[in-house]
Amino acid sequence: MPLLHLSLPPHRLLVGRRRLFAPPTPPPSRISIRAAALISSAAEDGSDLPFPPERAPHHRELAAAAASVERACRLCVDVKRSLLSGGRKILEKNDQSPVTIADFGVQALISFELQQLFPSIPLVAEEDSTFLKSSNPDDNSGNVLIESISSAVTDKVKNSGSPLTHDDVLRAIDRGGKDAVSFDSNPATYWVLDPIDGTKGFLKGDDALYVVGLALVVNGKVAVGVMGCPNWTTANKKEENLDPCPGNGILMVSHVGCGTWSRHLSPEIGQLTTAQDVWKRCFVDACSVVHMARFCIPDSQTWNMIPLSLLFDSTTDESDTRDENKILLRYACCGSLCKYIMVASGRASVFFSRARVNTQIKAWDHAVGMICVQEAGGQISDWSGKPLDLAADLTGRRILYPSGGVLVTNGAVHDELVELISANHE
């Protein structure tokens, strides 16, 4: 079965009536029956969104995205349980980063469900099936892995039709791959997915943080975002008073003009919460003094890589007395999209990331976090103060080119930090 190559008609949204115009309806088939059932169930799954449809032009897309991400988080939890119990479930991609059946399973699940609901909206995602298909044929490892992924997806995907075949799963993965769709310079509507951001954390221990992140970009701007972090509460027990969402992990959703909200993940798929009071509105912190702000940087970077290190020493001990020469540096969970959850929920004031030579900054590592922080009152830019350009990669929409690096703040200290960076960055 060849890889899926999309030839897509323009995707048009009528904001006033909030209707989605998709390509002509295909003849009745197994897929169209699935799609009808998915549309109905997505509306039910999204019934607990904290704002009504009339306030949100992309309410239907957000409802579907939230439901898919929650199912994907359950897939991750189930895979994690058996990850170290044996079997070849841990691999390495060509760039030597670890990847598991959970990465591929999440991408397949979310890709499949979104395609049935919104067939004209392409997907930009991290994985493709090339690596799976290139596994050593002599020991049948490729078939075993594909079987494991298919099994994980079939257990969680919302599907009323016949069971998914291996080819269905591989096509769903490849729908988000780098060769699936080519854009041009015109504004576009598309999904951006990071199936598991923080895979190294996923592989470590029960308390490690990782995130399933999904965003909808409309005309160059992020319109909808969903982040699911199954281990959020477990890893933050000492700070439950600051936790925006106590419970089994966190689901954070955002819609342009409607704010950022969070609730705990449902204990089991199919037991979705419905009461609107379970949602909590998220806001960035109010710190307006740079040296009193709480900073984070990626686990892979050090404070001396940041221009502010020329002005401030750092401490990771919250009990240390801080003055105008020392800042509090928080390392927790900064190797994944959790850095955006931290800023959006007020647990951190600032996130810095330096753009390193020969290292590409990927859109899926930032898109969903951008809207969650912005709708919570924060601000995101490159180190020169310019907004991140999601369309800078004209044909792929996969790479960002921020000058210096990425700066995520509560907004109150943003301008001053841009000035300090400008004065101290070579």
Residue ranges for the known binding site for Mg(2+) are 126, 194, 196-197, 365
Distance CA 80, CA 207 (A): 12
- Assess whether 206 carries a catalytic annotation: no
Distance CA 60, CA 19 (A): 9
Where residue 416 falls (left for φ over 0; alpha for ψ -120 to 50; beta otherwise) is alpha
Whether 274 contacts 47, CB under 8 Å: yes
User: Which residue is listed with tokens 């999209």?
Assistant: 337
User: Which residue is listed with tokens 């686990």?
Assistant: 299
Structure tokens that stand for 32 in this block? 């169209």
Distance CA 55, CA 228 (A): 23
- Residue type (1 letter), 233: T
CB atoms within 10 A of CB 296: 24
Distance CA 61, CA 42 (A): 9
Q: Which of 45, 168, 189, 199 is catalytic?
A: 199
- Assess whether 260 carries a catalytic annotation: no
CB atoms within 10 A of CB 210: 29
Distance CA 209, CA 337 (A): 9
Distance CA 252, CA 254 (A): 7
Helix or strand run (H / E) with residue 417: helix 414-424
Classify residue 315 by its DSSP letter.
E
User: C-alpha distances in angstroms, 409 versus 228, 285, 314, 340, 368?
Assistant: 21, 9, 18, 9, 15
Distance CA 65, CA 42 (A): 9
Q: Which of 45, 100, 103, 174 is catalytic?
A: 103
Distance CA 425, CA 221 (A): 28
Distance CA 276, CA 383 (A): 38
Whether 104 contacts 173, CB under 8 Å: yes
Whether 336 contacts 200, CB under 8 Å: no
Residues in the annotated binding site: 126, 194, 196-197, 365
Distance CA 226, CA 214 (A): 5
Structure tokens that stand for 35 in this block? 């799609």
Distance CA 99, CA 415 (A): 38
Give the catalytic positions in this structure: 103, 199
